[in-house]
Amino acid sequence: MAEEVVLLDFWPSPFGMRSRIALAEKGIKYEHKEEDLRNKSALLLQMNPVHKKIPVLIHNGKPVCESLIQVQYIDEVWHDKAPLLPSDPYQKATARFWADYVDKKIYEVGGRVWKTKGEKQATAKKELIETLKLLEKELGDKPYFGGESLGYVDVAFIPFYSWFYALEKCGNFSIEAECPKLIAWAKRCMQKESVAKSLPDQQKVYDFILEMKKHFGIE
Amino acid sequence: MGEEVKVFGYWASPYSYRAELALKLKGVSYEYINEDIFGNKIDLLLKYNPVHKKVPILLHNGKSIVESVVILEYIEETWKHNLYLPQDPYDKATARFWIKFIDEKNEREKVTNEACEYMKTLESALNGKKFFGGETIGMVDIVASSVGYFIRVTQEIMGLNLLSADKFPQLFQWSEDFANCSIVKESLPPRDKLLPFVKGLIAKYQQDNAKA
């Protein structure tokens, strides 16, 4: 049976990037539909009525919502190529824990870095560095969080790398200076076609953030 | 090989309850240790959950697993009988969606009047079934125990009657059916203990907020 895979997406979304990477890792052909979030399509509203958010993965007409759930779904359905989650339950639990940690911290803390100024921003920057350092520690000497190959945590986390330049410019700091091993990991991931094709250009993301700042009246 | 399974929890915590219920559903024997999370004895928390320093913590043959949903997935994958997640990847993804939905909204939102939308949406997930898992309790039911039992208690104390039979008949019926399962009842904190405890928490919260 012909597989029909559609991804409703928005180009700067780190969450959308996760699914893009997972699909690319598995070599799955899919239709990429770019959404205008100020004018959401009827399809998006129909496929994700609860949250009305992207990304939405539509497989043979049935929607899967929430990026990490999509990545797990993709891993389970197309299980014979490039496994993202380990098979051992304990290692799987560890991967889930760190992906959950990335989910809980990076977007929210990173958001505060570009949305705030002064003391609030200083606090956000400090928190972001602490978060990144903890992840750097978890990475250790492994080439990827997944070990020898790209895994679930790598897929969950690497999209935020495309936002680093924008955060550095907004916060006037260097992430590489604080977390060199993490940046080395990010660059290693970017060598993979699945990742390089899925992440937008960092300058483009910065321009997008500047527009958002203007739109929300944040200097 | 003897399995060593321990749960570090807190008697009133809906999250540590989830871990216990899951093990009970699988018929796995475990040792439960109540951690005084409000006291100063946090050495064990620091040792086994250095990142979040919270309960529940599942210790399986010396290895620690934390975060209630991660624990539930681990239990499901380790003891592969009495499964509580669907096998089909799509149905599994749907269950995971509802689990995330249940946990996502701020706990406070769930007890105040903003909870209506939330309850309505959650009820739609039941879709005429007895339990979220179908005929038997599934992982979504385990996670929804926070709403079905713990939040019901909190709402009562606050004089809100959101999860009522007339407003949300299906969800109300589910919470009754769920709480009446013997296996569920076994480790739920008794209402007569939980009520004063939550009252105390709310009072403290209101006090702290009045000071701020």
Res B2: pLDDT: 65
Res B8: pLDDT: 95
Res B107: pLDDT: 64
Nearest to B100 among A66, A77, A101 (CB): A66
- A75 CB neighbours in chain B (<8 A) are none
Of the listed ranges A49-63, A93-107, B27-41, B57-71, the one predicted with least confidence: B27-41
Res B110: pLDDT: 66
Chain A touched by B77 (CB under 8 Å): yes
What's B163's DSSP letter?
S
Asked if B70 and A90 come within 8 Å (Cβ–Cβ), the reply is no
Q: How far apart are CA A13 and CA A15, in angstroms?
A: 5
Alpha helices by DSSP H, listed for chain B, are 14-25, 43-48, 68-78, 89-104, 107-111, 115-126, 139-145, 152-157, 169-180, 182-185, 191-211
The CATH T-level fold of domain A5-77 is Glutaredoxin (3.40.30)
Res B202: pLDDT: 85
CA atoms within 13 A on the CB side of A22: 32
Q: Which residue of B has its CA nearest to A58?
A: B90
Position B211 pLDDT exceeds 90: no
Of the listed ranges A96-110, B5-19, B26-40, the one predicted with least confidence: B26-40
Res B186: pLDDT: 86
- B69 CB neighbours in chain A (<8 A) are 100
Band of pLDDT at residue B205, cut at 50, 70 and 90 = confident
- B67 CB neighbours in chain A (<8 A) are 96-97, 100
Same CATH fold, A89-216 and A5-77? no
Residue from A3, A28, A47, A66 whose CB has the most chain B CBs within 10 Å, to mutate: A66
Q: What's the rounded mean pLDDT across residues B12-25?
A: 95
Q: How far apart are CA A65 and CA A192, in angstroms?
A: 26
Res B111: pLDDT: 66
CATH classification for the domain delimited by B89-211, as one of 3.30.360.10, 1.20.1050.10, 3.90.1150.10, 2.60.40.60: 1.20.1050.10
pLDDT digits (tens, 9 = 90+) for A123-178: 999 999 999 999 999 999 999 999 999 999 999 999 999 999 999 999 999 999 99
Q: Is the model more confident about A2 or about B84?
A: B84
Cβ atoms of A146 and A154 within 8 Å: the answer is yes
Res B106: pLDDT: 60
Position B153 pLDDT exceeds 70: yes
- B86 CB neighbours in chain A (<8 A) are none
Res B113: pLDDT: 63
Please report where in the chains the tokens 């995971």 appear, as a residue.
B96
Residue from B78, B96, B102 whose CB has the most chain A CBs within 10 Å, to mutate: B96
Residue from B58, B83, B94 whose CB has the most chain A CBs within 10 Å, to mutate: B94
Q: How far apart are CA A156 and CA A171, in angstroms?
A: 23
Cβ atoms of A102 and A197 within 8 Å: the answer is no
**Chain B closest-CA separation from residue A63 CA (Å):** 9
Position A201 pLDDT exceeds 80: yes
Asked if A134 and B90 come within 8 Å (Cβ–Cβ), the reply is no
Position B171 pLDDT exceeds 80: yes
Band of pLDDT at residue B161, cut at 50, 70 and 90 = confident
Of the listed ranges A58-72, A167-181, A201-215, B37-51, the one predicted with least confidence: B37-51
Q: Is the model more confident about A3 or about A211?
A: A211
Res A12: pLDDT: 98
Q: How far apart are CA A160 and CA A151, in angstroms?
A: 15
pLDDT digits (tens, 9 = 90+) for B114-137: 678 888 999 999 999 999 999 999
Bridge partners of B57? B8, B66
Task: Give the start-to-end residue ranges of the domains of chain A.
Answer: 5-77, 89-216
Position A22 pLDDT exceeds 90: yes
Q: Which residue of A has its CA nearest to B96?
A: A69
pLDDT digits (tens, 9 = 90+) for B24-76: 999 999 999 998 877 766 788 889 999 999 999 999 999 999 999 999 999 99
Band of pLDDT at residue B6, cut at 50, 70 and 90 = very high
Nearest to B100 among A69, A77, A96 (CB): A69
Q: What's the rounded mean pLDDT across residues A114-121?
A: 95
**Chain B closest-CA separation from residue A12 CA (Å):** 23
pLDDT digits (tens, 9 = 90+) for B84-124: 999 999 999 999 999 999 998 766 666 666 678 888 999 99
The architecture CATH gives domain B5-78: 3-Layer(aba) Sandwich (3.40)
**Chain B closest-CA separation from residue A64 CA (Å):** 7
Res B1: pLDDT: 47
Task: Give the start-to-end residue ranges of the domains of chain B.
Answer: 5-78, 89-211
Asked if B90 and A64 come within 8 Å (Cβ–Cβ), the reply is yes
Q: How far apart are CA A94 and CA A135, in angstroms?
A: 12
Position A86 pLDDT exceeds 50: yes
Q: How far apart are CA B45 and CA B87, in angstroms?
A: 34
CATH classification for the domain delimited by A89-216, as one of 1.10.1240.10, 3.40.30.10, 1.20.1050.10, 3.60.10.10: 1.20.1050.10
Asked if B90 and A73 come within 8 Å (Cβ–Cβ), the reply is yes
Asked if A62 and B90 come within 8 Å (Cβ–Cβ), the reply is yes
Q: What's the rounded mean pLDDT across residues A189-214?
A: 97
DSSP run (H or E) holding A164: helix A164-171
Q: What is the ipTM of this complex?
A: 0.96
Look over chain A and give the mean of its residue pLDDT values, rounded to a whole number: 97
In this structure, how many other beta carbons lie within 10 angstroms of the beta carbon of residue A142?
A: 13
